[in-house]
Structure 1
Amino acid sequence: MEPISREPWWREPPKPGQREQDLHWGYLEIYKDGHAVFVDQRPSDRELAERKSCRNFPEAED
């Protein structure tokens, strides 16, 4: 079965102050039946720059 959606996604949400380039990236694939799979394959730098989701990074606490 082919995914209906495939986009760059982080494996775990960032911790406060963590930089985007330090995260473990892959793809989140969503299938027609509703299940989702994380594919452990790093997206290209361009795909990461153009991604629509996973953009909220918590601020570091002082």
Structure 2
Amino acid sequence: MELISREPWWRRPPQPGQREQDLEWGYLEIYKDGHAVFVDQRPTDKELAERKSCRNFPEAQD
């Protein structure tokens, strides 16, 4: 299996008003054959700050 991508990813999408610090983070690994795996290992704060994906947080509903 050849790994083609590994990036910080949340286990579950955030709920309205939830802060990114409160999410359970890990890595999403994508392999050449198309399957993906969530690795339960928290990325560093720097990796989270520099991530390219998982940036959309829903607004809290009043």
State the TM-score, normalizing by the size of structure 2: 0.98
Could you say what secondary structure the match of 1:34 adopts?
Answer: coil
Instruction: State the one-letter code of the partner of 2:29.
Output: E
Provide the aligned C-alpha RMSD in A: 0.6
**Structure 2: gaps (5+ residues):** none
- What is the count of residue pairs matched by the alignment? 62
**Structure 1: gaps (5+ residues):** none
User: How far apart in 1 are the matches of 2:41 and 2:2?
Assistant: 17
State the TM-score, normalizing by the size of structure 1: 0.98
- Answer 1 or 2: which has greater strand percent: 2
Could you say what secondary structure the match of 1:30 adopts?
Answer: strand
Could you say what secondary structure the match of 1:4 adopts?
Answer: strand
